[in-house]
A and B are shown apart, each in its own frame.
Chain A
Amino acid sequence: MSLHHHLTAPLIGNNPVTLQILGICSALAVTTTLSTAITMSVALTVVLCLSNGVISLMRHHIPPSIRLIIQITIVASIVIVIDQFMQAFMFEMSKRLSIFVGLIVTNCLVLGRAEAFAMRNPVLPSVVDGLGNGLGYSLVLLIVGALREFLGTGALMGVPLVTTAADGGWFQPLGLMQLAPSAFFILGLLVWLVRAMRPEQVEQPEFRLRTSEDRRP
């Protein structure tokens, strides 16, 4: 498996959010505006790369029975550092993201990649895998954040693109976009779109409606 594959596969073919359905919680919470989405994406990607790298470095020395505790400890340490960094240099943004930076520890994507990849692979591939998954996650967050901010306020990154009805224009913002359920709907539509383009990602149902094409084998 080449490094290039690790980097590009998680973008669409093996996207952590739309295919593996990991990391949904933060995808709902921080996507009300595009800027918070970007910040969260960068934070998560950095954490993913670092945690994958560190865990991969230690992978031969971690006892299997306590590996989850050790992985979480490593991830938590990295997240605390990132959190302190953001509070020091990006105070406003850190206040808007509030607890969600700290909650990267619980993001199933981080632990998922650590367990599935970093524990069995050398350092450089692990870091690149972390980068790829982080980019895949960021792609989804950017799309959802952009849609929610634009349809909810008529602006992107705080810059108004269309005049809202409140300012005398034609655009009526959709109030639902300020609420979390809209992220669910957008994610659902995104998953539908990706699986329509890549039918191999569709899960097989346990039962199908009997039609005349079915025959007993």
Chain B
Amino acid sequence: MSAKKGWKSFNFDCVNGTSKNIKKDNFPKQIFKAQATSFNFEEKIIPQSVDDLAVHTRKISDVEFWLNNNVITKSRNHKPSILLITGPTGCGKTATVKVLCKKLDIEVSEWINPIDRDKDYAIGQTSRMLEFLSLSKYPSLLCMNKPKVILIEDFPNSVIHNPNEMVAILEKCSTCEKSVIFICTDLSNLNMNLPQTLFPDELRQKFSIYNISFNATSTTLMTKAVKRAKTIIEMHTDINNITDVTVDDIVSSSMGDIRCAVNQVYFTCSKVCNDLLPSTPPPKYSNKRKRKSKNETKNQVLLKNERLSFFHGIGRVLNPKRVEKNGSWRLKCDIQALVDEIGIQPTTFNSFIHNNYIKYFGDIHDISNAAEILSFSQIFLNKWENRENFLNYSLWIPIMGLMVYNEHKVLKWNQITAPRKHKKEINNDLETKSLNVVDRCYYNIINKLDLKNQLKPC
């Protein structure tokens, strides 16, 4: 509940009854405003040096190496090179480039999608982007001698709908004399995979695009960054209500998204300053496990839309939760969301489930139903035509089936094991090549071989 109230306080436009309530609560508008004018958090939080970045040092040095080699010391007949940085949202891709360019004294000229105006409606964004690229070879008057790099993070909408236009853009890039950095966000979604649709392998090879892929921010780096944000706030205001527990909460709830985490820090401190609510969680949670407290504390409203980790997804399927309702029951799970969030190949997912489901079932009839479903779902994976459409079914069917049929759930901790990989053994012996695998045992008998890999009934 507390969270809900906190959210309301931002809703100034609201003209119904609730707004009056807020006024009655004596909402300290002035304090909030004063802070906003005296201290621009957004500006301060931008990383100033390499040390401030919450990015793995190897990735930073990768990018720095590329900048050094391709932008600063460029051999004369060297073609301009293209760098592609990929990674999930908020892992510090743009920040890394900007900080490094600042450090190495490189001018960044960034493309931002223009807003269409009436008079140049006829000119598409893509053609204007091409124009931008051809103009960018001229140095800016302010920094004549600096090396320059072009940064493209905004992709015109038409390119996203029609990835073929990317070829023209990349061709322009390779003729425009300056090196180009593309920043492209990885989405964990089967339907939209920007790095792959915009930069397919052939294009990467053709234009020799160098790819650096960032991972989601690790917990250690995240903690460091959140602490830095905290220090910045404490330096500029007199708020210091962010405890270590809150830091942990924020770090674990932001799922590796540094931007989200930093915003949470800011929200937390601005929220509590209006003193509407008890800021500390009730003491009864204090000795419980951390995981529990995460869900209960005030930060709940700020939780990032949770992205399921792989094992988490498997756990959901194998440990279905039910809600009893009027004598019948429903699954307590949004299956559509679950299917969407599974970011790996259905084949792999199904193998994982198949390898582990028995441990979670308590009754042989349930297993039989589940096994039937799993076997059925395999059919969808072998259709090569319309494969895209069938992939979703091959996830839906086993997920639904296993969750529904698990009537006698086994509640104990089980280790998830990976499916076995079986590589076909290829017999390269000319003498036995013509023999079928199933007849090889006779060959052993005849030649009185006692091979160790013989099947022995146990």
- Tell me if chain B binds chain A: no
| Residues of A in contact with B (beta carbons under 8 Å apart) | none
Which residues on B are within 8 Å of A, measured CB to CB?
none
